[in-house]
Structure 1
Amino acid sequence: MSREDMSKEEYREYFLANYRHSMAHILAKAVIEIFGKENVQYAIGPQIDDGMYYDFVLPRTVTKDDYKTIEDKMREIIKRREDFRREEISRDAALSMFKDQKFKYEIIKDLPEDELLTIYYTGDDYVDLCRGPHVFNSEELMNVAFQVKSVSGAYWRGNEKLDQLQRIYVYVYPDKNALKEHLAFIKEAMERDHKKIGPEQELFMFDESAPGMPYWLPRGFKLYNAMLQFWRGIHEEHGYQEILAPVINHKRLWETSGHWGHYKENMFLVTTANVDEETDKEVIDTDVQYAIKPMNCPNAINVYKNGLHSYKELPIRYSETQVIHRREKSGELNGLFRVQMFHQDDDHTFLTEEMIESEIGDIMDIAKYIYETFGLTYAAELSTRPEDFMGSPELWDAAEASLKRILDKKYGEGNYEINEGDGAFYGPKIDLKMKDCLGREWQMGTIQLDFQLPLNFDLKYIAADGTQKRPVMIHRAIFGSFERFIGILIENFKGAFPFWLSPYQVGIVPIREEHNEYAKKVEKALRAAGVRVEADYSDENMKNKIKGFKKYKEPYILVLGDKEAEEGTVSINIRGNKQANGVPLDKFIEACRELNLNHSLDITEEF
C-alpha cells in the first residue's frame, strides 16, 4: 500500500511500526560499517515515541563529533536502495548465525528449542534477529527525516550487574517539517527544564550526600509553602483533619499492611546497633527491625484505631503532607520528577460503603478545582487488579465495580481509559493524568479504593444498630507529590509563576539612599497585606537592582524615587517589560490582595 492510499492515521501507524523500526536497522548497519563488524556487539533497537534507539558495545565512546558521521553513513545506506529480506530459521540455525554476537545469542538461547525465528537482511551484509515488520526496500526511507539525538549508557536487560552498553538515540519523523516541529518542541522543553530553571532561580538543589533528595532553598520553600497554604485551605473547607505521624516504624506495622511482602525492595530499612558489654564494641543487629515509611496509610490507620468511632463520625478524613522515602535506582532519578524523598499530599478517608460514590465525587471536585487553578487539564483512568494483589478476588471485583459506576456517572460509560492490571497491590484506583502547556501528559493524582487494609488491621466502627462493622478506606492524593507537581509547574510556567505562587511577589528598588525611608514604609505596608516582598537597599545603581530582581522573574518591581515618596505612589515594572507609573500605594496593595485571594493565573497590568 502506498502513502497516497492511506488515511493520515493509517500512514502514521504504518510509519511508526515500519519506518522507525527499519531505521533502527539502518543505524545498526551504519555503526557496524563505521567501527568494523569485528568490533561491534549489537543488542536491541526498538522504536520509541520520537524515533528509535539501538544498544551497542563499541571499541570507544561515541561523542557528539560522531553524530554527523553516523547520519551521513545512514543516508549512504538508504541511497543504496537495498531490500529488507525476511527469512524464517530454526533456533539452532539462529544460534549458529549469531554465535559471535553475545546479546543476540543470549536472547536466542532463552527461547524454546522448537521456536521458529525470523531474521531480516538489509542488503547482503547485515542481518538482525527481528520479528519485523519493516519496509520492503530502503528506498522507502529516502524522504524520512532523522537526526542523532544523544548517546547514553544503558545496562543489558536493565540490570546494572550486566554489560554496560552505549545507547544511540535517533529522532525519526516522516519529513523535514515534522522533524523541524519536533526539534522546536524539544528546544522549548529544554528552555523550560526545571532542572535548569530551579537552580537558576535558587528554588532547590541536590547534593551527592543525599541522592534524589531535594533541598528546598529559601525561595523555593516560599513557593512550597504557598502551595501548602492553598492546599490546606481547600481541604479544611471540605472537612479534612491534618495529622502528623512518625517517619520510622517497626517492621510489624509494614508486615500487617502488606508492604513488607510487596514493597520491601523499595523501602529504606533501618538496622540498630548495640554495645557488647564484654568487648565494649558496637555490634550491628542484622535483623532489621524498622523501616522509613514509603507510604502514609499504615500510620493513618493507627490514628483511626486510637479510639472507637461511631457511624455518625464518618467519613473521617486524615490528611498529611509528611515526608516519605522510596528507594529508586540511581539511573531512574530525574530532578524533582523522580526522587527518593518527597512530600505527598496524602489523605486516608474512613467511611461506609454507602458513602463511597459521594465521597469520591467530592474528591474529584477538589481535583478539578485544584488543576483548573493552575490552568491544567486532566483525564481520569481506571487501574484494575495487578497480578501481585493482596486479598480476595471478590473484594477486588466489588471495589472495581464501585469505581466504574463513579466514572460512568462522572464521564459517561466508555469515556475513560481502563489500565488492566495497573492497580496498587491492595486496591484498584482512579489515576488523574494532566496535560501541561506543551501537551505533555503527567501521571499525578490517584484515588484508591481499599477494602483490604481495613481487614488486615481489623478496623471497626459502631453502626446505627449498635453492631460493629468494618469501614472502607480511600487513599488519595491530588498533586501526587509536592516535589513532582512543582517540577511540572516550573516547566509549565517557565519559571514565571502566577502572582499568588511566586516565591517573592514584589521587589522594591529605591533609586537612591535618600529614598530608603519611603521604600521601607512601602515594604512594611505590603508585608502587612500578606504580600511576599524583598527590597534592595544596597549601593548598586537602579538598573543593576532591577536586573537582579528580573533574574527571578518577579511579577512586580517597584521603583521608588522623589516623585513616588512625595505623592505616596509606586512606579511599577511589570513582568514582561510593561510599566505603570504613579499608581497610588493603596490601590497597588489592593490589587495584590485580590490576586492572592483569587489565585489568579495572570498578573494585573492595569492599575
Structure 2
Amino acid sequence: MSINVTLVRESTTSQETLDDGTTGLDLFGQDRTIVACRVDGQIRDLHLPLPDGASVEPVLIDSPDGLNILRHSCAHVAAQAVQNLHEEAKLGIGPPITDGFYYDFQVAEPFTPEDLKALEKQMQRIVKEKQSFRRRVVSDDEARAELADEPFKLELITDKGSANAEDGSSMEVGAGELTIYENVRRNGERAWEDLCRGPHVPHTGYIPAFALTRSSAAYWRGDQKNQQLQRLYGTAWPSKEELQAYRTRMEEAAKRDHRKLGSELDLFSFPEEIGSGLPVFHPKGELIKMQMENYSRQRHLEAGYSFVSTPHITKGHLFETSKHLDWYADGMYPPMRVDEERDADGNVTKQGIDYYLKPMNCPMHNLIFQSRGRSYRELPLRLFEFGSVYRYEKSGVVHGLTRARGFTQDDAHIYCSREQMKDELTRLLTFVLDLLKDYGLDDFYLELSTRDPEKSVGDDATWEEATRTLAEVAQSSGLELVDDPGGAAFYGPKISVQAKDAIGRTWQLSTIQLDFFEPGLFDLEYTAADGSRQQPVMIHRALFGSIERFFGVLLEHYAGAFPVWLAPVQVVGIPVAGEFTEYLEEVAAKLRARGVRVEVDSSDDRMQKKIRNAQKQKVPYMLIAGGDDRAAGAVSFRYRSGEQKNGVPVEEAIEEIVDAIARKVQV
C-alpha cells in the first residue's frame, strides 16, 4: 500500500507518494538540521508514521519550535544524568525557556559546581550513546504504576486537566492522552523514561552543543507553599559555535547587569528594610530618571496629551467595576480593611471598606473621563500620567528594576471614536517608535497578542475587529510582525514593541492595547455630532512599560555609559594641581549657566587617579587644566573613550558639549 502527502519546504510544495508506514525519519533521512515534522499543523516526532493525505513540513533545529524541541530533549538528558548519579532524586518539571531549559529535582543536598561538572560529563556519555526518544501512549493507571516512585509526576497525572504553561506542567501533561518518552539504547535496552507530551529529537546525538549553567532553589510548580526543590539550568544550541557565541553574550550581559552597575555607579538600591522589588533611587539615579521623565513630558505635551494624577490606593469597588478583581487579583497586593468602627464592647458599628494598592491606572482615568459630559469635539482625548503602581510579583520572579513590585508607569489612555481609531493608533505607534529612538534604541519588531478565550471578556466580532485593526496598523509600520497567540489582556488585543539592545537581547517595551469593553463597564459616553450618545474606544498605552524597567534596560544597553544628555554628571573638571582649581571652577560656572551638569574634582588625589575615577563613573567629558591652559584660556579636552584634544579654547569646548547634549549623541 502507499500513501500520498504534500511536502512543504520553505516556499515550495510537492506531492509525494510513499510506502504506507513511512516515518518522518524515512522521508527526511538523517539530516540533523531537521528535528521534528509539522503534520497538518501539529508538531510530531520524526519516528511516527505519516498519515495518508497529510501536509508535512520539516521543523528545523534553528527555528523557534526546533530550538524548543532541542532544549526540552536536552532537559531530559540532564534529568537522566541526575538520576544516574543521584538515585534518590525525584523528578519535577523540565520545560524549555528562553535560550535554554531547566529541570526541577527533589534531592538530598543542593547541587554544587562540582556536581554540575560531573553531570555534564554524564550528559556527554548519554549524547554519545545516541539513545532514541520513543513515545508511548499510556492510560492514567499505567502511568501511575510506572511512575509510582515519582510523587510529583503522580500529582501531574491527577491534575492533568489543569496543567498550564506558567508552571511548566503543560510540557508534561495536557487535557488529552498521557504519553511517556523512553530513552532507548541502540541494543534495545531502555535507559530511562519520563512523563512528557513531547515531541523530542530522534535521538540524543541530535544534541550537538549544550552546557549546564547554574542551579538554584525553586518551589514545586512555582508556589512557595509547596516543597522546595533544586532547579538545574542549562542551554543547548545547534552548533558549538552558537554555544560559544551564547556564552560570550552571557559574559557581556553579566558585565552589564543593571543591578551590578546600579551599585557601582551609586544609582539605586533595594534596602531589605523596605522590601523585595521596591527600589530607592540615589541622587545620580534620580537625576537620570528625572531627565528621562522630563523629556517624555515635553514630547507628550507637543503631541497633544493632557496630564493627570491619581492616588496610589482606591476602594476595591473600582476594580470590581473594571473586572480586574475577576481577572487580575493574583497580581494585586492583598486589601487593606479600613474605616471600620466598633463600640466600647467591640461590636462593629460601621463596616470597614477594602482598599487596594493600584496595579494599574486605567480605572481611575476612566473616572476622569466620566467626571463630566464629553463632546465629540474633545476626541481624541489623550490622558497621560506618571502613575505609581504596585503588583505582587512572586519572589522568584522579582529581578532588580526589570521586574519590580513597585514602579511608575508612563501611562496613557486615549479615548476616541471608532472612526478615529485606526488613524490614532497609527499616529500613536509612530510617536512611540520615534521617542524610543531618541533614547538610543532603534532595532525593533512588533508582536501582536491575540485573545485567550479562557481569559477574556466580550464577543467574538468585537475582538476580531480590534485584532484586525491592530494588525493593519502594525503591518503598515513596515516592521516585522510576530504573532503571540493568547497573549492579550482580558479586555483586548495588543501590539508590543520588542527592541534589541547593544548585545542583541530583545526587550519588550511599549504596549498598545485596543479596548472596546472597559468603556462599557464604566458607562463612558460622549455626545456625537448628530446629538446621539456614543461609547468611545479606549486605547491603553505604556510607552516605556515602566520608568524603572526602562531605566534598567538603558543601563544595560549603554553598560552604564549613558549618552551625554542623560549622564548624571556630564563634565568633570580635573586640575593638574590645586592652584588650577579656581580656573576650572570659572569654566564650570560658564557650563552651568548653559544647563550643563558639571563637577570639579578638588580632592587631594593625583591627577591620574582623578582621571581613573571619572572613567569608572563613566563621565562623558573631562576638562583638564594646567598652567599653559590657564594662560591660553583653554582646556585639555578628554573624552570617555580616552581620546584627548589639548589646548581647546574654553568657549569652543563649551559649545561642543552643549551641542552634543542637544543632539543626544553618545561620546
TM-score calculated relative to the size of structure 1: 0.90
255 and 365 in structure 1: CA distance in 2 versus 1, 3 angstrom threshold: same
8 Å CA contact 1:145–1:173 kept in 2: the answer is: yes
Aligned twin of 1:395: 462
Aligned twin of 1:177: 241
Q: Given the alignment, which residue of 447, 455, 477 partners 1:381?
A: 447
89 and 235 in structure 1: CA distance in 2 versus 1, 3 angstrom threshold: closer
How many pairs were matched up?
A: 595
Counterpart-to-counterpart distance in 2, 1:114 and 1:399: 32
Structure 2: which amino acid aligns with 1:172?
A
Matches for 1:202-281 after TM superposition, within 5 Å: 202-208=266-272, 209-268=274-333, 269-272=335-338, 276-278=342-344
460 and 599 in structure 1: CA distance in 2 versus 1, 3 angstrom threshold: same
| Structure 1 position 28 matched with structure 2 position 79 | yes
8 Å CA contact 1:45–1:53 kept in 2: the answer is: yes
Superposed displacement of residue 506, structure 1: 0.7
| Structure 1 position 65 matched with structure 2 position 142 | no
427 and 85 in structure 1: CA distance in 2 versus 1, 3 angstrom threshold: closer
| Structure 1 position 406 matched with structure 2 position 463 | no
Structure 1 SS opposite 2:419: helix
Counterpart-to-counterpart distance in 2, 1:89 and 1:267: 40
Aligned twin of 1:154: 218
| Structure 1 position 437 matched with structure 2 position 499 | no
Structure 2: which amino acid aligns with 1:485?
F
Provide Cα deviations, 1:150-207, integer angstroms capped at 9, x if missing partner: 1112222222222221111222234432322221111111111111111111111111
Superposed displacement of residue 563, structure 1: 2.2
87 and 301 in structure 1: CA distance in 2 versus 1, 3 angstrom threshold: closer
8 Å CA contact 1:53–1:168 kept in 2: the answer is: yes
Greater mean alpha carbon deviation, residues 43-52 or residues 335-344 = 43-52
Aligned twin of 2:585: 520
Counterpart-to-counterpart distance in 1, 2:521 and 2:577: 69
8 Å CA contact 1:343–1:481 kept in 2: the answer is: yes
Counterpart-to-counterpart distance in 2, 1:47 and 1:336: 25
Structure 2: which amino acid aligns with 1:384?
T
117 and 246 in structure 1: CA distance in 2 versus 1, 3 angstrom threshold: closer
Aligned twin of 1:43: 92
8 Å CA contact 2:133–2:181 kept in 1: the answer is: no
Counterpart-to-counterpart distance in 1, 2:200 and 2:245: 25
Greater mean alpha carbon deviation, residues 171-180 or residues 447-456 = 171-180
Greater mean alpha carbon deviation, residues 380-389 or residues 435-444 = 380-389
8 Å CA contact 1:382–1:430 kept in 2: the answer is: yes
Greater mean alpha carbon deviation, residues 285-294 or residues 481-490 = 285-294
Matches for 1:68-87 after TM superposition, within 5 Å: 68-80=117-129, 82=131, 84=133, 86-87=135-136
Task: Flag structure 1 segments of 5+ consecutive residues without an equivalent.
Answer: none
Superposed displacement of residue 103, structure 1: 1.8
| Structure 1 position 130 matched with structure 2 position 196 | yes
Provide Cα deviations, 1:478-530, integer angstroms capped at 9, x if missing partner: 11111111111111111111111111111112233322221221111111111
8 Å CA contact 1:371–1:377 kept in 2: the answer is: no
Superposed displacement of residue 337, structure 1: 0.8
Greater mean alpha carbon deviation, residues 294-303 or residues 43-52 = 43-52
Superposed displacement of residue 340, structure 1: 0.9
Counterpart-to-counterpart distance in 1, 2:362 and 2:559: 34
Structure 2: which amino acid aligns with 1:53?
Y
- Name whichever structure is richer in helix by fraction: 1
Greater mean alpha carbon deviation, residues 528-537 or residues 85-94 = 85-94
8 Å CA contact 1:427–1:450 kept in 2: the answer is: yes
Structure 2: which amino acid aligns with 1:27?
A
Structure 2: which amino acid aligns with 1:148?
L
Superposed displacement of residue 57, structure 1: 0.9
Counterpart-to-counterpart distance in 1, 2:213 and 2:201: 23
Structure 1 SS opposite 2:457: coil
Superposed displacement of residue 284, structure 1: 13
8 Å CA contact 1:151–1:166 kept in 2: the answer is: yes
8 Å CA contact 1:507–1:557 kept in 2: the answer is: yes
Root-mean-square deviation over aligned CA pairs: 2.8
Q: Determine what percentage of the aligned residue pairs are the same residue.
A: 38
Counterpart-to-counterpart distance in 2, 1:345 and 1:440: 23
Q: Given the alignment, which residue of 160, 170, 186 partners 2:250?
A: 186
203 and 64 in structure 1: CA distance in 2 versus 1, 3 angstrom threshold: same
Greater mean alpha carbon deviation, residues 269-278 or residues 422-431 = 269-278
537 and 452 in structure 1: CA distance in 2 versus 1, 3 angstrom threshold: same
Aligned twin of 1:106: 155
Structure 2: which amino acid aligns with 1:50?
D
Structure 2 SS opposite 1:345: strand
Structure 1 SS opposite 2:182: strand
Provide Cα deviations, 1:29-64, integer angstroms capped at 9, x if missing partner: 3222222x2x22122333444343322111211111
Structure 1: which amino acid aligns with 2:338?
T
Counterpart-to-counterpart distance in 1, 2:485 and 2:142: 38
Where relative contact order (Cα < 8 A, 6+ residues apart) is larger, the structure is: 1
Provide Cα deviations, 1:350-385, integer angstroms capped at 9, x if missing partner: 222222122212111211211222132212232233
8 Å CA contact 1:273–1:282 kept in 2: the answer is: no
Structure 2 SS opposite 1:487: helix
Structure 1: which amino acid aligns with 2:62?
R
Counterpart-to-counterpart distance in 2, 1:87 and 1:385: 33
TM-score calculated relative to the size of structure 2: 0.83
Structure 2 SS opposite 1:253: helix
8 Å CA contact 1:271–1:285 kept in 2: the answer is: no
